[in-house]
Amino acid sequence: MIRKRWTCTLALALALALVSQSASAQPTYPTRPISFVLPFSAGGAADTVSRMLAEEMSKRLGQPIIVENRPGAAGVIGTNVAAKAPADGYTVLLTLTQAILTNQFLFTKLPYDPRKELAFVTEVCGGSVLLVVNPRIPAKDVSELLNWAANNRASFGSWGTGSYGHLASAYLNRSRKVDLTHVAYKGEAPMIQDLVGGQIDIAFVTAFSAKPFIDSGKLRVLAVTGERRLPALPNVPTLAEAGLTDPEFQSTGKLIMMVPAGTPAPIVERIESTARAVIGTEAIRNRMRAIGMEPIGNSSRQALANYEAMYPVHQRLVQLTGAKLD
Protein backbone atom coordinates (compact mmCIF):
# COMPACT_ATOMS: atom_id res chain seq x y z
CA MET A 1 0.00 0.00 0.00
CA ILE A 2 2.80 2.36 1.02
CA ARG A 3 4.77 1.40 -2.09
CA LYS A 4 1.72 2.09 -4.28
CA ARG A 5 1.25 5.53 -2.71
CA TRP A 6 4.94 6.29 -3.16
CA THR A 7 4.77 5.21 -6.80
CA CYS A 8 1.73 7.47 -7.43
CA THR A 9 3.40 10.40 -5.70
CA LEU A 10 6.55 9.91 -7.76
CA ALA A 11 4.53 9.69 -10.99
CA LEU A 12 2.67 12.89 -10.13
CA ALA A 13 5.90 14.70 -9.33
CA LEU A 14 7.42 13.59 -12.62
CA ALA A 15 4.33 14.70 -14.54
CA LEU A 16 4.38 18.13 -12.91
CA ALA A 17 8.06 18.47 -13.65
CA LEU A 18 7.49 17.61 -17.30
CA VAL A 19 4.63 20.13 -17.56
CA SER A 20 6.78 22.81 -15.94
CA GLN A 21 9.70 22.00 -18.23
CA SER A 22 7.41 22.07 -21.28
CA ALA A 23 5.95 25.44 -20.27
CA SER A 24 9.38 26.97 -19.70
CA ALA A 25 10.48 25.64 -23.08
CA GLN A 26 7.67 27.48 -24.88
CA PRO A 27 9.19 30.25 -27.03
CA THR A 28 8.51 33.80 -25.86
CA TYR A 29 7.07 36.17 -28.47
CA PRO A 30 8.68 37.36 -30.64
CA THR A 31 11.16 34.78 -31.91
CA ARG A 32 11.55 36.09 -35.46
CA PRO A 33 11.24 39.34 -37.45
CA ILE A 34 7.93 41.25 -37.45
CA SER A 35 6.36 42.98 -40.47
CA PHE A 36 4.66 46.36 -40.22
CA VAL A 37 2.34 46.57 -43.23
CA LEU A 38 1.64 50.15 -44.32
CA PRO A 39 -0.95 50.42 -47.12
CA PHE A 40 0.47 53.71 -48.39
CA SER A 41 3.57 54.90 -50.23
CA ALA A 42 6.91 55.69 -48.65
CA GLY A 43 7.80 59.27 -47.79
CA GLY A 44 4.64 60.58 -46.15
CA ALA A 45 3.94 61.27 -42.49
CA ALA A 46 2.46 57.79 -41.90
CA ASP A 47 5.57 56.16 -43.37
CA THR A 48 7.88 58.39 -41.32
CA VAL A 49 6.12 57.60 -38.04
CA SER A 50 5.88 53.87 -38.87
CA ARG A 51 9.64 53.73 -39.30
CA MET A 52 10.18 55.60 -36.03
CA LEU A 53 8.07 53.00 -34.24
CA ALA A 54 9.71 50.07 -36.01
CA GLU A 55 13.17 51.23 -34.98
CA GLU A 56 12.32 51.80 -31.32
CA MET A 57 9.99 48.83 -30.83
CA SER A 58 12.58 46.54 -32.40
CA LYS A 59 15.04 47.48 -29.65
CA ARG A 60 12.53 46.61 -26.95
CA LEU A 61 11.23 43.39 -28.53
CA GLY A 62 14.65 42.10 -29.53
CA GLN A 63 13.70 41.32 -33.13
CA PRO A 64 13.94 43.25 -36.43
CA ILE A 65 10.78 45.02 -37.57
CA ILE A 66 10.44 45.52 -41.32
CA VAL A 67 8.13 48.22 -42.73
CA GLU A 68 6.42 46.97 -45.89
CA ASN A 69 4.75 49.64 -48.04
CA ARG A 70 1.78 48.11 -49.86
CA PRO A 71 0.05 51.09 -51.52
CA GLY A 72 -2.87 51.01 -53.91
CA ALA A 73 -6.66 51.34 -54.15
CA ALA A 74 -6.95 53.93 -51.35
CA GLY A 75 -5.31 51.59 -48.86
CA VAL A 76 -7.37 48.51 -49.76
CA ILE A 77 -4.47 46.39 -51.04
CA GLY A 78 -2.23 46.67 -47.99
CA THR A 79 -5.07 46.46 -45.50
CA ASN A 80 -6.29 43.25 -47.13
CA VAL A 81 -2.79 41.76 -46.94
CA ALA A 82 -2.71 42.38 -43.19
CA ALA A 83 -6.30 41.26 -42.59
CA LYS A 84 -5.63 37.92 -44.30
CA ALA A 85 -2.27 37.29 -42.58
CA PRO A 86 -1.87 34.61 -39.89
CA ALA A 87 -3.03 35.83 -36.47
CA ASP A 88 0.31 35.20 -34.81
CA GLY A 89 1.63 38.69 -34.04
CA TYR A 90 4.18 38.72 -36.87
CA THR A 91 2.06 40.91 -39.16
CA VAL A 92 1.02 44.28 -37.76
CA LEU A 93 -1.04 46.79 -39.72
CA LEU A 94 -0.29 50.49 -39.50
CA THR A 95 -3.03 52.28 -41.38
CA LEU A 96 -4.94 55.52 -41.75
CA THR A 97 -8.59 56.14 -40.97
CA GLN A 98 -9.74 55.92 -44.59
CA ALA A 99 -8.62 52.32 -45.14
CA ILE A 100 -10.51 50.89 -42.15
CA LEU A 101 -13.41 53.32 -41.85
CA THR A 102 -14.30 55.54 -44.82
CA ASN A 103 -13.61 52.85 -47.42
CA GLN A 104 -16.54 50.82 -46.10
CA PHE A 105 -18.85 53.48 -47.55
CA LEU A 106 -16.80 54.43 -50.61
CA PHE A 107 -16.65 50.88 -52.01
CA THR A 108 -19.68 48.71 -52.74
CA LYS A 109 -17.74 45.72 -51.46
CA LEU A 110 -14.35 45.42 -49.79
CA PRO A 111 -12.25 42.23 -49.78
CA TYR A 112 -11.99 42.53 -46.00
CA ASP A 113 -14.28 43.46 -43.11
CA PRO A 114 -12.28 45.70 -40.77
CA ARG A 115 -14.73 45.20 -37.92
CA LYS A 116 -14.45 41.40 -38.06
CA GLU A 117 -10.99 40.67 -39.47
CA LEU A 118 -8.87 43.22 -37.61
CA ALA A 119 -8.34 44.07 -33.95
CA PHE A 120 -7.17 47.39 -32.51
CA VAL A 121 -3.85 47.72 -30.71
CA THR A 122 -3.54 51.51 -30.30
CA GLU A 123 -4.02 54.82 -32.04
CA VAL A 124 -0.45 55.91 -32.65
CA CYS A 125 -0.93 59.57 -33.49
CA GLY A 126 -3.29 62.03 -35.10
CA GLY A 127 -2.73 64.66 -37.72
CA SER A 128 -5.04 67.64 -37.91
CA VAL A 129 -6.05 68.72 -41.38
CA LEU A 130 -5.59 72.38 -42.27
CA LEU A 131 -7.99 74.59 -44.21
CA VAL A 132 -5.71 76.68 -46.43
CA VAL A 133 -6.07 79.15 -49.28
CA ASN A 134 -3.87 80.65 -51.92
CA PRO A 135 -2.69 84.05 -50.55
CA ARG A 136 -4.39 85.92 -53.40
CA ILE A 137 -7.75 84.99 -51.84
CA PRO A 138 -8.72 88.04 -49.70
CA ALA A 139 -9.78 86.01 -46.68
CA LYS A 140 -7.99 86.09 -43.35
CA ASP A 141 -10.40 83.80 -41.49
CA VAL A 142 -13.14 81.24 -42.12
CA SER A 143 -15.98 83.77 -41.97
CA GLU A 144 -14.32 85.96 -44.60
CA LEU A 145 -13.67 82.90 -46.76
CA LEU A 146 -17.33 81.87 -46.72
CA ASN A 147 -18.43 85.41 -47.57
CA TRP A 148 -15.94 85.57 -50.42
CA ALA A 149 -16.88 82.11 -51.74
CA ALA A 150 -20.58 83.02 -51.73
CA ASN A 151 -19.89 85.80 -54.23
CA ASN A 152 -17.09 84.38 -56.36
CA ARG A 153 -16.43 81.36 -58.54
CA ALA A 154 -13.90 79.24 -56.67
CA SER A 155 -12.44 75.75 -56.65
CA PHE A 156 -11.22 73.37 -53.99
CA GLY A 157 -8.70 70.61 -54.46
CA SER A 158 -8.43 67.20 -52.83
CA TRP A 159 -5.78 64.49 -52.87
CA GLY A 160 -8.36 62.11 -54.33
CA THR A 161 -12.06 61.35 -54.58
CA GLY A 162 -13.31 60.07 -51.24
CA SER A 163 -10.39 61.54 -49.27
CA TYR A 164 -11.18 63.58 -46.18
CA GLY A 165 -10.19 66.71 -48.09
CA HIS A 166 -12.84 65.93 -50.69
CA LEU A 167 -15.55 64.96 -48.20
CA ALA A 168 -14.97 67.93 -45.89
CA SER A 169 -14.96 70.43 -48.75
CA ALA A 170 -18.09 68.91 -50.28
CA TYR A 171 -19.77 69.06 -46.88
CA LEU A 172 -18.74 72.73 -46.59
CA ASN A 173 -20.43 73.31 -49.95
CA ARG A 174 -23.71 71.76 -48.84
CA SER A 175 -23.86 72.95 -45.25
CA ARG A 176 -22.78 76.56 -45.87
CA LYS A 177 -24.50 77.04 -49.24
CA VAL A 178 -21.41 77.86 -51.28
CA ASP A 179 -20.57 76.57 -54.75
CA LEU A 180 -16.97 75.40 -54.86
CA THR A 181 -15.87 73.28 -57.82
CA HIS A 182 -14.06 70.07 -56.87
CA VAL A 183 -10.74 69.26 -58.55
CA ALA A 184 -9.44 65.79 -57.62
CA TYR A 185 -5.72 64.98 -57.79
CA LYS A 186 -3.76 61.76 -57.59
CA GLY A 187 -2.01 62.58 -54.36
CA GLU A 188 -1.43 65.58 -52.13
CA ALA A 189 1.84 66.82 -53.65
CA PRO A 190 0.44 67.80 -57.08
CA MET A 191 -2.61 69.35 -55.41
CA ILE A 192 -0.45 71.57 -53.23
CA GLN A 193 1.67 72.58 -56.24
CA ASP A 194 -1.46 73.80 -58.02
CA LEU A 195 -2.75 75.50 -54.88
CA VAL A 196 0.52 77.39 -54.50
CA GLY A 197 0.45 78.21 -58.22
CA GLY A 198 -3.11 79.55 -58.06
CA GLN A 199 -4.75 76.93 -60.30
CA ILE A 200 -7.09 76.12 -57.39
CA ASP A 201 -8.18 78.36 -54.53
CA ILE A 202 -8.89 76.33 -51.41
CA ALA A 203 -8.01 72.93 -49.95
CA PHE A 204 -7.89 70.82 -46.84
CA VAL A 205 -4.28 69.63 -46.49
CA THR A 206 -2.14 67.76 -44.00
CA ALA A 207 0.17 69.76 -41.75
CA PHE A 208 3.07 67.50 -42.75
CA SER A 209 2.84 68.53 -46.41
CA ALA A 210 1.64 72.12 -46.09
CA LYS A 211 3.64 73.63 -43.24
CA PRO A 212 6.74 74.53 -45.31
CA PHE A 213 4.51 76.48 -47.71
CA ILE A 214 2.70 78.16 -44.82
CA ASP A 215 6.00 79.15 -43.23
CA SER A 216 7.21 80.65 -46.51
CA GLY A 217 3.98 82.58 -47.07
CA LYS A 218 2.98 80.63 -50.18
CA LEU A 219 -0.18 79.36 -48.46
CA ARG A 220 -2.41 80.94 -45.81
CA VAL A 221 -3.89 78.70 -43.14
CA LEU A 222 -7.30 79.67 -41.74
CA ALA A 223 -8.17 76.84 -39.34
CA VAL A 224 -7.42 73.27 -38.28
CA THR A 225 -9.68 70.27 -37.74
CA GLY A 226 -9.85 68.47 -34.42
CA GLU A 227 -10.58 69.51 -30.86
CA ARG A 228 -7.31 71.31 -30.12
CA ARG A 229 -4.98 73.74 -31.82
CA LEU A 230 -1.75 72.40 -33.23
CA PRO A 231 1.33 73.04 -31.07
CA ALA A 232 3.20 73.82 -34.30
CA LEU A 233 0.56 76.45 -35.24
CA PRO A 234 -0.65 77.80 -31.88
CA ASN A 235 -2.22 80.96 -33.32
CA VAL A 236 -4.42 79.09 -35.81
CA PRO A 237 -7.94 78.41 -34.46
CA THR A 238 -9.78 75.13 -34.74
CA LEU A 239 -12.71 75.04 -37.14
CA ALA A 240 -15.00 74.88 -34.11
CA GLU A 241 -13.45 78.06 -32.73
CA ALA A 242 -13.97 79.60 -36.17
CA GLY A 243 -17.69 78.80 -36.03
CA LEU A 244 -17.83 75.42 -37.84
CA THR A 245 -18.88 73.25 -34.90
CA ASP A 246 -20.26 70.33 -36.96
CA PRO A 247 -18.75 66.95 -36.00
CA GLU A 248 -17.84 66.50 -39.68
CA PHE A 249 -15.15 69.14 -39.16
CA GLN A 250 -13.71 67.56 -36.01
CA SER A 251 -12.09 64.60 -37.74
CA THR A 252 -8.34 64.12 -37.64
CA GLY A 253 -6.35 61.68 -39.72
CA LYS A 254 -5.08 58.98 -37.37
CA LEU A 255 -2.35 56.41 -37.76
CA ILE A 256 -3.76 53.25 -36.20
CA MET A 257 -2.01 50.01 -35.22
CA MET A 258 -3.98 46.79 -35.67
CA VAL A 259 -3.43 43.04 -35.88
CA PRO A 260 -5.42 40.23 -37.53
CA ALA A 261 -8.44 39.25 -35.44
CA GLY A 262 -7.77 36.16 -33.36
CA THR A 263 -4.20 37.10 -32.46
CA PRO A 264 -3.61 35.62 -28.96
CA ALA A 265 -4.33 38.12 -26.19
CA PRO A 266 -0.86 37.87 -24.57
CA ILE A 267 0.75 38.75 -27.91
CA VAL A 268 -1.62 41.68 -28.49
CA GLU A 269 -0.86 42.91 -24.98
CA ARG A 270 2.89 42.67 -25.63
CA ILE A 271 2.61 44.65 -28.87
CA GLU A 272 0.31 47.22 -27.25
CA SER A 273 2.44 47.77 -24.15
CA THR A 274 5.59 48.09 -26.24
CA ALA A 275 4.02 50.51 -28.73
CA ARG A 276 2.52 52.66 -25.98
CA ALA A 277 5.82 52.77 -24.09
CA VAL A 278 7.63 53.96 -27.23
CA ILE A 279 4.95 56.54 -28.07
CA GLY A 280 5.19 57.81 -24.49
CA THR A 281 8.89 58.66 -24.70
CA GLU A 282 9.74 62.33 -24.97
CA ALA A 283 12.08 61.77 -27.92
CA ILE A 284 9.40 60.08 -30.06
CA ARG A 285 6.72 62.57 -29.07
CA ASN A 286 8.98 65.44 -30.09
CA ARG A 287 9.80 63.78 -33.41
CA MET A 288 6.10 63.25 -34.15
CA ARG A 289 5.22 66.84 -33.31
CA ALA A 290 8.05 68.11 -35.48
CA ILE A 291 6.19 66.74 -38.53
CA GLY A 292 2.76 67.95 -37.44
CA MET A 293 1.53 64.75 -35.77
CA GLU A 294 0.13 64.64 -32.25
CA PRO A 295 1.07 61.50 -30.25
CA ILE A 296 -1.79 59.43 -28.82
CA GLY A 297 -0.78 55.93 -27.69
CA ASN A 298 -4.11 54.99 -26.08
CA SER A 299 -5.42 51.56 -25.10
CA SER A 300 -6.91 49.12 -27.59
CA ARG A 301 -10.28 49.57 -25.88
CA GLN A 302 -10.18 53.36 -26.27
CA ALA A 303 -9.03 53.07 -29.88
CA LEU A 304 -12.06 50.89 -30.63
CA ALA A 305 -14.40 53.32 -28.83
CA ASN A 306 -13.07 56.24 -30.88
CA TYR A 307 -13.55 54.26 -34.08
CA GLU A 308 -17.15 53.46 -33.22
CA ALA A 309 -17.83 57.12 -32.39
CA MET A 310 -16.55 58.32 -35.78
CA TYR A 311 -18.25 55.54 -37.77
CA PRO A 312 -21.60 57.35 -38.28
CA VAL A 313 -19.85 60.67 -38.99
CA HIS A 314 -17.85 59.24 -41.89
CA GLN A 315 -20.86 57.29 -43.10
CA ARG A 316 -22.89 60.50 -43.20
CA LEU A 317 -20.12 62.42 -44.98
CA VAL A 318 -19.91 59.87 -47.79
CA GLN A 319 -23.69 59.64 -48.13
CA LEU A 320 -24.03 63.44 -48.35
CA THR A 321 -21.42 63.72 -51.10
CA GLY A 322 -22.39 60.58 -53.00
CA ALA A 323 -18.69 59.73 -53.43
CA LYS A 324 -17.82 56.25 -54.71
CA LEU A 325 -14.53 54.60 -55.64
CA ASP A 326 -15.92 51.63 -57.60
Cα(311)–Cα(305) distance, integer angstroms: 10
Give this prediction's pTM. 0.84
Domain range summary for the chain, segments of one domain joined by +: 34-126+252-321, 129-249
pLDDT attached to residue 18: 43
pLDDT attached to residue 322: 85
Cα(222)–Cα(224) distance, integer angstroms: 7
Cα(254)–Cα(277) distance, integer angstroms: 18
Give domain 129-249's CATH architecture. Answer: 3-Layer(aba) Sandwich (3.40)
C-alpha distances out from residue 106 to 98, 163, 177, Å? 9, 10, 24
| pLDDT tens, N- to C-terminus, the chain (326 residues) | 444 454 444 444 444 444 444 333 347 999 999 999 999 888 888 999 999 999 999 999 999 999 999 998 889 999 999 999 999 999 999 999 889 999 999 999 999 999 999 999 999 999 889 999 999 999 999 999 999 999 999 999 998 888 888 888 888 888 898 989 999 888 888 999 999 999 999 999 988 889 999 999 999 999 999 888 888 899 999 999 999 999 888 877 899 999 999 999 999 999 999 999 999 999 999 999 888 889 999 999 999 999 999 999 899 989 888 888 88
Same fold for the pair 34-126+252-321 and 129-249? yes
Amino acid identity for residue 302 in this structure:
Q
pLDDT attached to residue 14: 44
Which homologous superfamily is 34-126+252-321 in?
A: Bordetella uptake gene, domain 1 (3.40.190.150)
